[in-house]
Structure 1
Amino acid sequence: MAVIVRAGAAPLWWPGLLAAAVGAFVPGLTGRRVGLLAGAALFLVAAAVVALLRTGRYAELAEGAARAGRSDFLQDRAVTVRNWRRGHRWWLLGAFVAAVASGFLVPGAGGLVLAGSGAGLWAKAVRIGRRERRDDVLYWVRTDWVVRGRPAGKQVKAYRTTGPAAGDAAPGGARRRSR
C-alpha cells in the first residue's frame, strides 16, 4: 500500500525541481525573488497538505487490516510502480507543462508546488513505513480494489497484511535492499 503512495513521489519531485529551475531563469510578472519566495511558501504548504491528507482513512483501514489469504492477489513493487506511473503519465506531463508555463507569471512557484506534492507523498510513505515497522507487518491493498491508483479510495474495504519479509518492498514502499 505504501508503494502506491510512494510511486508518485519521484515523478512529482524531479519534474517539479526542473520546472522550478526553468522558472528561476525567467523574470516573470512578479520578478524572480517574489516568485521563488512564494514558491518556497507554497512548497511547504503543498508538502504539509499532501502529507496530512486522508491520514484518518489510512489509519482506519490499517486498524481493520486482515491477514492476506490465499485468494488475495498481491503485486510486486515494481509492477505496482510501473502501473501507477503508466496510468498517471498524462497527468504528470500536464502538471509539468503547467508548472513550466506558470514560471512566466510567478517564476519557480509552480515547479515548487509540484515538488512539494512529491515531498508530501514521500513523507506520507515514511509515516506508513513507521507504522508498518511498529506493527511488524506490511500493508497491502488487493489489486482488484485499487481504482485509479488510490490506496485509500472508496472501493478499498480493508488492507491485507503479510510479514515484513514478504514481497520485494521494504516498510514504507522503498525497494528492499539485498543483503
Structure 2
Amino acid sequence: MGRGGQGLARVAVVVRAGAAPLWWLGVFAAGIGVLVPGVTGRRIGVLAGAALFLVAAAVVACVRRKRYAALARGAARAGRHDVLQDRAVTTRNWRRGHRWWLLLAFAAALGSAFAVPAAGGMLLAGAGTGLRLKAARIGRRERELEALLWVRVDWLGRGAGAPAGKPVKGYRSTGIAAGDAAPGGARRRVDALV
C-alpha cells in the first residue's frame, strides 16, 4: 500500500458478514429451544419468538440508516493506489472479530429456552435477517449510484467493526465492476462478468 494507498473493505460485505452466522445459530437455538417445555410453554414461546424475529429484523435493518445514506452521498473516488480487500477476507475478519459475541449470543439464546422456548433463537435469526436486508438496501443504493461503496480497513478496527461507526469519516467509491462482490455484498456470479 505504498504512495498513500489505503486498504478498503466493501461496506455491504462487512454488513452482510454477520447475517449467515446469526441466522444459522438462531435457527439451531430455536430448534433446540422448541424441545424444552419452558416456563411459558412452547406455544407462547414460538409466538413471542415470531414477534421478536420481526422486531429484530426491522430494527437491525433500519439502525443508522441516515448515517449510511450520508456517508454514501459523500463518497470520494478511491485512489489508484488503494487496495481492495477480497470478499472472503472481509467476511473472515468480521467473523473472527465477533466470534466470542456470536458464541455468547448463542449460549444466551439456548439458556432463554428454559424460560421462553425458541424465542431467543428466533431473535438471533431476526438479527441475521435484518443484516441481510440492510446489505440489500446498500446494494440498491450502489446500483442507483452505479458505484460500489468501500470503507477504510483501519477505520473498522481490529474486530472489523461497524462500517458506519464513529471512527468512519467517509466512504470511497469505485466502478460497479471492481472487486469480487456484487452490489449488496453477495458473491459475484461468473456469468455476470461475461
Cα distance per residue 1:35-60 (max 9 Å; x no partner): 00000001000000000000000001
**Post-superposition offset of 1:73:** 3.4
Residue 44 in structure 1 maps to residue 28 in structure 2: no
**Post-superposition offset of 1:106:** 0.2
Aligned to 1:175: 187
**Post-superposition offset of 1:9:** 0.2
Runs of 4+ with deviation above 3 angstroms: none
Residue 139 in structure 1 maps to residue 149 in structure 2: yes
| In 2: Cα distance, 1:168 partner to 1:46 partner | 30
| Alignment length (residue pairs) | 179
Normalised by the length of structure 2, the TM-score is: 0.90
Residue 4 in structure 1 maps to residue 14 in structure 2: yes
Aligned to 2:8: none
| In 2: Cα distance, 1:133 partner to 1:153 partner | 23
Aligned to 1:165: 177
**Post-superposition offset of 1:72:** 2.9
SS at match of 1:144: helix
Residue 64 in structure 1 maps to residue 74 in structure 2: yes
| In 1: Cα distance, 2:113 partner to 2:154 partner | 40
Q: Which moved more, 1:50-59 or 1:68-77?
A: 68-77
| In 1: Cα distance, 2:23 partner to 2:170 partner | 29
Aligned to 1:16: 26
Gaps of 5+ in 2: 1-10
- C-alpha RMSD over aligned residues: 0.8
Aligned to 1:127: 137
Percent identical residues: 72
Normalised by the length of structure 1, the TM-score is: 0.98
Gaps of 5+ in 1: none
Letter in 1 for 2:46: L
